[in-house]
Amino acid sequence: MSNQKTIPGSLNAPHVDAFPTPPFEHQKQPFPGLASKMKPVPDHGEKTYKGSDRLKGRKALITGGDSGIGRAVAIAFAREGAQVAINYLPDEEPDAKEVMDLLWSEGLKVVAIPGDIRDEKFCQQLVKEAEEKLGGLDLLVNNAGRQQFCDSIKDLTTEAFDATFKTNVYAMFWITKAALEFIPRGGSIINTSSVQAFLPSDNLLDYSQTKASIVAFTKGLAKQLAPEGIRVNSVAPGPYWTALQVCGGQPQEKVEKFGEQAPLKRPGQPAEIAAMYVTLASQESSYASGQVWCSDGGTGTL
């Protein structure tokens, strides 16, 4: 973003007032949407995230790694020394190419595995391919999500309900189950939930249910895998400026005012949450499991 202010001694990281505030331009994209076409384009930390080898030697699979929070996490993990595989829908190839080209230009190891995670067989193939191409797998970030607003349960179709659960819940189950064949003791699984799990919006009935499921899955699986030394945690974002919002995730009037109700009066940028995933993935958080960490612009949801 332009005109970002900095604090002395902060390694030029932008501070709380450095990011765009609403109102935003009227904009609508077909699902699944592209970050590169958003106005303003989201900040994924391309120019600001500085690594310090916190994940050196680790091997990570990140779903939804083409844009939004997934891209920010992919950039952060790679710059922290991890080898990274990202998954995304084929329609999101332009965004995926951007992040791949960026990380390749820095000499970082990143591989792309496009495909639809609503298919169980593909999820199994995805994990196997990621493990083979990376030469192992010890970090899993279940981040890909589907969000489509619907004002009334009377208009919420079974097909739409099923697509949201297949993307947000079933895929997480399938991918995690397959990944446990490879993740060793000391590995880490991080799931992306949402503040919607705790403060559901009236027009996101199916989406909020899936995010609550992710919280329960995280807490239950953390207990189940504790004897194996594998940690399971979740991050619960508040309003974040991602392509999810402009391709049916919110009605246009809410997109234009997106994030203004947060105490910080703006949406978060993906770059502002990536460090949470890094911290949960790192061995520095070796006693943190079954946790849900929130980043919501000051609302204090958790």
Q: Please list the residues that pair with 232 across neighbouring strands.
A: 189
- Burial status of residue 240 (CB atoms within 10 A of its CB: 0-12, 13-18, 19 or more): buried
**Could you give the residue ranges of the DSSP H alpha helices within the chain?**
68-79, 93-105, 120-134, 158-165, 171-179, 205-225, 243-244, 252-256, 274-281
Instruction: Count CB-CB contacts under 10 A for residue 199.
Output: 12
Q: How many CB atoms lie within 10 A of CB 14?
A: 21
What is the rounded CA–CA span in Å between residue 266 and residue 258?
A: 7
| Spatial contact of 65 and 99, defined as CB atoms under 8 Å apart | yes
Please name every residue paired with 142 in a beta bridge, in sequence order, or none if there are none. 191
Distance CA 122, CA 283 (A): 30
131 and 167 Cβ atoms separated by less than 8 Å: no
3-state secondary structure of 140: strand
Report DSSP state, residue 10.
Answer: S
Distance (Å, whole) CA 138 – CA 181 = 10
Q: Which residues are catalytic?
A: 207
